[in-house]
Amino acid sequence: MQYAKAKEHDGKYKEAATAYKKAKDYESVIRINLDHLQNPEEAVNLVKETQSVEGARMVAKFFQDLGDFASAIQFLVMSKCADEAFKIAQQYDQMEQYAEIIGDQATQEDNNSIAVYFENKRKYLLAGKFFMFAGQYQKALSHLLRCPVTENGESVELSIQTVKKANDEKLIMHLIDFLMGELDGMPKDSKYLFRLYMAIEKFTEAAKTAIIIAQSEQEMGNYRNAHDVLFSMYKELRERKIKIPNEMNQNLMLLHSYIVCKIHIKRGDHLKGARMLIRVANNISKFPAHIVPILTSTVVECHRAGLKHSSFSFAAMLMRPEYRSQIDVKYKKKIEMIVRKPDKTEEEEPLDACPFCSYPVPQTQLDCPECKQHLPYCVVTGRHMLKDDWCNCPNCSFPALSSEFKNLLEGEDTKCPMCAEKVTINSLKPVPDPSIYLRDEVAVPAVPDEL
């Protein structure tokens, strides 16, 4: 140590620093690097390595003199000088950096002080956020609801977090009123109401909201988005053993039918594609954004699959005045020909045994006329399930005809059509006795025929 002091006295600072380091006098090493060697990087590294409180204070002073207040705050916090760090943050408008630096170490008192600072600055989003952290939920919500709802919806997301933490029915109802537009006459995007209900575990209300969101997406022609909203909600309800609403079941089934029809058409299996398009076209009012394109595809695919009577029926629909002018010129003559020279021959749809009572039911019919049960459907084909050809997706647990799922995976498709997760043939396990699924499955209700 005496050697180090002597070298420092002689102005040989590098040698002095080395000697101080050997003697483990880290504060002196930090001081020399800052005051004489102009090497703040070494001083910073040493503070981080040794967690020296006095060293951190020296580094903080160095950065403060340079005007680098964020770095000064960081080292003041490290040196346990929180009050001084807060004062600098307050004085030089560095409160966000201060809050980020203290992070999880912040006490409720710290968070309250930060919130009051932002409140005085009229930064209501940040004030609300830190009042929430401080446990002052009513004050937090009051500030957050003063913020405009931006594209990323941060103020609403924080409001949802706030009422969840508060677990206060009065605050929850106040936020619901805000989201419904009761407070300002401007209803907010339904997705926020859905997220609120999910956060506070009101799953029945969340399901109703999910149906509304999905219907809105469906009306705009965003079928995959609508499908994913319903599928996600379906999973949440099933995991909590809550009954799936019939409307959700039916809407998901119709959207899924439209998705799988495209898979089969792409694979060149026009009969499977046509059967699903018939189901969709029979409920065409639920697809208002693409009425004519869907009906056109149904006519074309039914004709290719030899379902001539069905092809004629939907072609006749397209000849109605409200649709005729919208038909793609590429298909118009063909459709007119189908209507002028109708061929109404069509084989009956094959029958398969009802999985409940074994009564023969058309493959794509999802209700049994004998036992009156609604039948679970295969996520690959949209057909009703068979007891002796049953498997479940290993990811989402939705049922599928084992032979059809394997057939799909032998081609280019490697994902479950329902959950879009990757599936391998080896992961598909046959279910010898699906009775448990038939008991638990809340199957899809019969779809009313709109034609």
- The model's pLDDT over 387-440, given as tens digits with 9 standing for 90+, comes to 999 999 999 999 999 999 999 999 888 999 999 999 999 999 999 889 888 876
Q: Are 136 and 144 in contact (CB under 8 A)?
A: no
DSSP state, residue 89:
H
Residue type, 432: P
- Percent of the chain predicted with pLDDT > 70: 86
In the chain, where the domains are located:
268-340, 351-441
For the entire predicted model, the pTM comes to 0.74
In terms of Cα–Cα distance, which of 143, 148, 382 is closest to 261? Answer: 382
Judge whether 301 and 273 are in contact, CB under 8 Å.
yes
Q: Which CATH number fits domain 351-441: 3.30.40.10, 3.30.560.10, 3.90.650.10, 3.40.640.10?
A: 3.30.40.10
Does residue 14 register a pLDDT over 70? no
* Mean confidence (pLDDT) of the chain: 88
Residue 241: per-residue pLDDT: 83
CA separation for the pair 269, 404 (Å, rounded) = 12
Residues 38-47: what's their mean pLDDT?
A: 67
Cα–Cα distances in angstroms (integers) from residue 288 to residues 213, 215, 277, 297, 355, in the given order:
16, 11, 15, 15, 34
User: Of 160, 228, 246, 229, nearest to 197 (Cα)?
Assistant: 160
Find the helix or strand (DSSP H, E) in which 220 lies.
Answer: none
The one-letter amino acid code at 56 reads A
Q: What is the mean pLDDT of residues 180-190?
A: 90
CA separation for the pair 332, 351 (Å, rounded): 34
305 and 274 in contact (C-beta within 8 Å)? Answer: yes
pLDDT of residue 380 exceeding 60, the answer is yes
The neighbouring-strand residues paired with 374 are 367
